[in-house]
Amino acid sequence: MRTLSPPVGLPALADADLVGQVARLLTQAVVEGRLAPGSKVVEAGIARELGVSRAPVREAARLLEQQGLLVASPRRGFFVRKFAADDIDDIYDLRLCVERHAAVLAARNLTPETRDMLRRQIDVLHQTADLEDPARQVEEDYRFHRLICEIAANRRLLRLFDDLASEMRMVIGLIGRLYDDPHEIARTHEPVLAAIEQGHPERIVAHIDYHIGHAWREVGKLVREIPA
Amino acid sequence: MRTLSPPVGLPALADADLVGQVARLLTQAVVEGRLAPGSKVVEAGIARELGVSRAPVREAARLLEQQGLLVASPRRGFFVRKFAADDIDDIYDLRLCVERHAAVLAARNLTPETRDMLRRQIDVLHQTADLEDPARQVEEDYRFHRLICEIAANRRLLRLFDDLASEMRMVIGLIGRLYDDPHEIARTHEPVLAAIEQGHPERIVAHIDYHIGHAWREVGKLVREIPA
DNA sequence: TAATCGTCGATTGTCGACAGTTTAGTCTTG
DNA sequence: CAAGACTAAACTGTCGACAATCGACGATTA
């Protein structure tokens, strides 16, 4: 008798992986602003608060360092990253570079199935727009762009997008609010998809530039308004 | 009286940073092939061999994981990354994306000083070509491309380039040999610089594509010849 | 009075130890 | 003889402890 677990899509049982949990909690604390930018993250303090030893906290901190949420200073500890206007520009400039490339590749790989996935995600964006849940809206927005990277079928590129997304999440978290009209945002994704469907690299790049350039300017403006 | 330490050019005291040293030694071992791809990296073993405890080894391993040299499998440990042909394509495709962008930005920022730095680095490439030292040649090659990223003046982009370079170093290390004629390689950098000096984005991209596409094809060929 | 030195508490870097899990090897069984 | 169950060794994840180092504050000196 085959008792070998037939793979049902179970989400891998909320791991007993301490490092991951600590990393998630720290990320939340940072994004929600409970840990102010520039403030020190004391290993022993976090460890005590969570009831674990310093080892997992340390590893989680190193993880978040690589993700750009914390910065490590040898023998002085970890600090919550401060974002200057320059950092915003660096991040969005790189994002532009990545997504242009991803979109062109995605157009090349596009199938009816993947096309529908993008289409459906735009629908989700419209539905989410009614929910008055900005965090969710941002998340679904990223999901659309992440889909493009998935369709581009370059794992290294997808990982980079995820790293950038986590940095952007932090920035957005610091700003607090973001979009004025979520429906408007949802709509602006449509020309991007249309360009990908049509497949002219130049037109794709132009629409990606417009779309991301818009976000760039918005975020940049807000960051300059509320400086550290 | 101002006795405030007048800055004498002291070389910043070679760090006693264990993690960094372990990371460097592990990287060497991997690049030199003493740790075969796919083989397990046992924390306690490395620790004993280096006369340190497992803690710094663990942190170093995590670092190399983020750099793509090792892969971690929960509760099973770290393994030396195996590169398939797909991985090569992913990496070089992303490199192409990054360097196109960097070169265009570099052209925009180019000053007489930075122009000369690039020019001089091409000279170094020619000089190194006579040394019959392939590792050094590859290193100086990267230095040229890294310079472009520095001139582009996007720190996030520079970090990405460094990450990609470390992955490529590993691949090159596995292949062993690389170029047939180092002088030829040195020469192929000249049109890239010329295009950057001229400043037409399209021409820059075209030359970058040609230059990196060449390396891509060469490395790809060798990887397919010597599969895991 | 201002800059430097010395001291003390707080915090990191590193270590050895233990528990639970994985893996390799052996034995059993159909 | 192959496949599965069992056992023992090896390894990872986590912990608490200790020494080295850092930052702050008060003492000291010109």
Same-domain check for residues A73 and A89: no
Q: What is the pLDDT of residues A110-134, one digit of tens each?
A: 999 999 999 999 999 999 999 888 8
User: What is chain B's length?
Assistant: 228
CA of B3 to C1' of C1 (A): 16
pLDDT at B228 > cutoff 60 = no
Q: Do residue B94 and residue B74 come from a single domain?
A: no
Which residues are bridge partners to A70 per DSSP? A80
Those residues of chain A whose CB sits closer than 8 Å to some CB in chain B are: 15, 17, 55, 58-59, 62-63, 66, 74, 87, 89-91, 93-94, 97-98, 100-101, 105, 154-157, 160
The CA angle B28-A58-A38, to the nearest 5 degrees, is: 105
CATH, residue B72: 1.10.10.10
User: In one letter, which amino acid is B60?
Assistant: A
Q: Do B26 and B45 sit in the same domain of this protein?
A: yes
The number of domains in chain B is 2
* Domain shared by A156 and A211, yes or no: yes
Terminus-to-terminus CA distance in chain B, angstroms? 68
- Asked if strand C comes closer than 7 Å to B53 Cβ, the answer is yes
Q: How confident is the model at residue B87 (pLDDT cuts 50, 70, 90)?
A: very high
pLDDT digits (tens, 9 = 90+) for A132-165: 888 899 999 999 999 999 999 999 999 999 999 9
* Structural domain that includes position A41: 18-80
Q: Does a structural domain hold residue A109?
A: yes
Instruction: Provide the pLDDT confidence category of residue B173 given band limits of 50, 70 and 90.
Output: confident
Within a domain: B165 = yes
Residue A10, pLDDT above cutoff 80: no
Cα gap B41→A188, rounded to integer Å? 48
Residue B132 lies in a domain: yes
Domain C-terminal end among A30, A49, A80: A80
B185 and B98 together in one domain: yes
| Same domain flag for B128 and B220 | yes
Residue B11 pLDDT grade (very low, low, confident, very high; cuts 50, 70, 90): low
Residues B146 and B196 in one domain: yes
Determine contact, residues B23/B60, Cβ cutoff 8 Å. Answer: yes
**pLDDT at site A4:** 31
pLDDT at A93 over 90: yes
Q: Is residue A5 part of a domain?
A: no
Assess if residue A6 is contained within a domain. Answer: no
Contact A160 B94 (CB under 8 A): yes
Residue to substitute from A97, A104, A148, A163, interface B, most B β-carbons within 10 A: A97
CB contact under 8 A, A160 and B160: yes
Given an 8 Å threshold on Cβ–Cβ distance, is B90 in contact with A154?
yes
Same domain (yes/no): B73, B89:
no
For residue B206, count CB atoms less than 10 angstroms from its CB and return exposed for 0-12, middle for 13-18, buried for 19 or more. middle
A174 falls in which pLDDT band (50, 70, 90)? confident
* pLDDT over 80 (residue A210): yes
pLDDT of B3 over the 60 cut: no
B46 and B109 belong to one structural domain: no
Domain-located, residue B6: no
Q: How confident is the model at residue B223 (pLDDT cuts 50, 70, 90)?
A: confident
Taking only the tens place, the pLDDT of each residue in B30-83 is: 988 899 999 999 999 999 999 999 999 999 999 999 999 999 999 999 999 999
- Domain contains B1: no
Q: Is the pLDDT of residue B161 over 90?
A: yes
Give CB contacts under 8 A, 24+ apart, made by A15-18: A15/B74, A17/B74, A18/A52, A18/A56
Q: What is the mean pLDDT of residues A208-220?
A: 94
Preferred mutation among B63, B105, B156, B159 to probe A, highest tally of A CBs within 10 A: B156
Summarize the confidence of residues B170-189 as an average pLDDT: 83
Q: Which nucleotides of D are covered by protein (CB under 7 A)?
A: 10-17, 21-23, 30
Q: Is the pLDDT assigned to residue A5 strictly greater than 50?
A: no
* A95 and A184 both lie in a single domain: yes
Claim to verify: residue A140 and residue A169 sit in the same structural domain:
yes
A74 and B17 in contact by Cβ < 8 A?
yes
Examine the pLDDT at B204 and tell me if it is beyond 80. Answer: yes
Verify that B146 and B105 share a domain, yes or no: yes
